[in-house]
A and B are shown apart, each in its own frame.
Chain A
Amino acid sequence: MIITLIDIILLTFMGATAFAILRLRSLFAVVMLSGIYSLLAASMFVSLDAVDVAFTEAAVGAGISTVLMMAVLALTGERERLPARTPILPLVVVTLTGAALFYATFEMPAFGDANAPVNLHVAPHYLKNSFAEVGLPNVVTSILASYRGYDTLGEVTVIFTAGVAVMLLLGGRKGDDAGIKREPADDAGNADSGDDDDRDTRGGAA
């Protein structure tokens, strides 16, 4: 009962924040409010017993994306222009789609229903036998690390590739800037420092 009331209050706050994000024209305030929205969503996830999801939401939504959005704001303007026209047709389409999806939820099994199809397929097997088969006390860990080990390996590969790509993009840009700026200071010392700097020096001289 108390938890339900807290959920309702948190959802009201989230709705108010989303509406304020829509109405505000100062992009700095919008970035701040989206960070607040992520924090509220993280509280909501904790209230729904999804602590790991809440942790990800706080780290990514409130931490990293706020900082990234501020970095974007440093490169762009801080005011949002008013749209030239008010789009009525997209609003109608989105409202109809949302209403259809909402209507579809009436056919879904109740939250936590033991007879729902998702709880009848492989979940009982995991719950009964995972400790005997894998030997880990935590069922979620044994599913992620053993039953779906290849899936987890693929996910880790994707994240690793994305991280390497981001490091290449950011690192390459920074190295170029540093080489161009420091070039006049020491010509002789810079000649055999590295391949990239050397090529940049010749390109700039030619």
Chain B
Amino acid sequence: MFAVTAFAVLIALGIALARAFLGPTVFDRILAVNSVGTKTVLLIAVLGFLTGRPDFLDIAIVYALINFIGVVAILKYVQYGDFALSGNVEPVPPGNVERAPQGDGEGGQ
């Protein structure tokens, strides 16, 4: 049962990886990284139950936190082009990132 779940998670991981390799825009790749991180959390949880030692669940939770912080940092870079600016500054996206067709830079406050 857990083995089937583990292979399903691995297949989903492969699909997310393919999107990260191919993804034409920045946002495809950010979403792929986030998805791979989520699949890693799931895989660690399933591996814990598969080997009969579900003590690693809290480590999976910490992975989820790291994944969230990393994605927030990446999104902040994509929107502001800098890490030092706060949300009050007018966004200046970095020059030559290949962005989505309708670059929605004014999403934040």
1/0 contact trace for A35-54 toward B, CB 8 Å?
11001101100110001001
B17–A43 CB distance below 8 A: no
CA of A120 to CA of B95, assembled, Å: 59
Contact B29 A58 (CB under 8 A): no
The reply to whether B20 and A54 form a contact with Cβ atoms under 8 Å apart is no
Q: Are B51 and A3 in contact (CB under 8 A)?
A: yes
Partner of B70 from A2, A29, A62, A78 at Cβ < 8 Å? A62
Closest chain-B Cβ to A177's Cβ sits at a distance in Å of 9
Residues on B with C-beta less than 8 A from A13 are 13-14, 17
Q: Does A26 contact B (CB under 8 A)?
A: yes
Of A64-72, A104-112, A124-132, A152-160, the segment with at least 4 beta carbons within 8 Å of chain B is A64-72
Q: Report yes or no: A55 in contact with B59, Cβ–Cβ below 8 A.
A: yes
Give Cα distance in the complex from A6 to B43, angstroms.
Answer: 10
With A2-B3, A66-B70 in contact, do A42 and B62 touch (Cβ < 8 Å)? no
Measuring CB to CB, which residues of chain B are less than 8 angstroms from any residue of chain A? 3, 6-7, 10, 13-14, 17, 20-21, 23, 26, 29-30, 32-33, 36-37, 40, 43-44, 47, 50-51, 56, 59, 62-63, 66-67, 69-70, 73-74, 77, 81-84, 94-98
In the A-B complex, list the 3 residue pairs whose CB atoms are closest, starting with the nearest: A63-B66, A32-B29, A67-B73
